[in-house]
Amino acid sequence: MNELKELLPYLKTWNTYVDVGIIAIIIYKVMNLIKETRAEQLIKGITMLIIATKLSEKLGLHTVYWLLKNTMTVGVIAILIIFQPELRRALEHLGRGRFFIKGELLDREIDSMLDEISIAVSYLSKNKIGAIIVIEQETGLNEYIETGTKLDSVVTNELLLNLFVPNTPLHDGAVIIRRNRIAAAGCFLPLTQSQNLSKELGTRHRAAIGITEISDSMVIIVSEETGVISFTKMGRLSRYLDTKSLKEIIKNSIKAKEDKQPKWMKWGAKNGG
């Protein structure tokens, strides 16, 4: 019994570290989730309101405090209504996403995959064959994989070309690549609701932008009308690319994602964590 009492302070300290660690991980994931979205501005606005409410209370500004306090109360309900789409997407993101990293691809695996994609995209562009290729990142895309035909095949240029041959069952949908394998083809993607896009952009481009607005995936598009190669990530579209610049953009995006990870996460990924 005495030994247990002696250990109690150490257990409390250990629990404190675990508690702080869990909160730190949650904050990190939430910050990544809302980064560069409308929710980010919302969080900033709420933070300013909380600070203003506390300051008015401390300074004895009773009318201002009463107004801000009641605004916060009503504001919670208003936020749930106004930002319902964003909240739904956030919950979907958490539900589909992988909270911990499952292990990164090796450089040679990435290079091999990109070489195969580049060969296929070059041929598709020269022959003006429309295509949309989605590369899944941390956010899982199972919901959209389910809309297509599951393949689970190695990424090869021959297979990609066959999937996008005109007048075949799968050519109009998207190919989704998970790690270095083709998870599914003929997949349906959500269209962007943005009104600021050029009218010359068709359904493929709108679908590509749409999926990157609700996930961290990267998408390659080949225009059926012009053969122009485009790339989109985080809702941002880059057009008139060649295969060399396309490979560089994708590799830089993957490297940037790895650089942002905490060192302990990188270590875990390399060791199969």
pLDDT at 266: 46
pLDDT at 217: 92
What whole-number distance in Å separates Cα of residue 101 and Cα of residue 140? 12
Same domain, 69 and 166: no
What pTM does this model have? Answer: 0.63
Q: Which helix (H) or strand (E) holds 239?
A: strand 236-241
Higher pLDDT, 86 or 199: 199
What whole-number distance in Å separates Cα of residue 26 and Cα of residue 103? 20
Same domain, 113 and 152: yes
Domain at 173, CATH number: 3.40.1700.10
Same domain, 163 and 191: yes
Identify the domain containing residue 158 by its residue range: 107-270
Same domain, 25 and 118: no
Same domain, 215 and 124: yes
What whole-number distance in Å separates Cα of residue 133 and Cα of residue 158? 14
Q: Please check whether residue 65 lies inside any domain of the structure.
A: yes
Where a domain ends, among 96, 127, 150?
96
pLDDT at 33: 60
Q: 175, 166 in Cβ contact below 8 A?
A: no
- pLDDT band at 270; cut points 50, 70, 90: very low
Same domain, 260 and 161: yes
Q: 219, 173 in Cβ contact below 8 A?
A: no
Q: Please check whether residue 159 lies inside any domain of the structure.
A: yes
Q: Please check whether residue 160 lies inside any domain of the structure.
A: yes
Mean pLDDT across the stretch 183-188?
A: 95
Same domain, 75 and 205: no
Where a domain ends, among 96, 121, 153?
96
Same domain, 81 and 197: no
Give the count of domains, the chain: 2
pLDDT at 64: 82
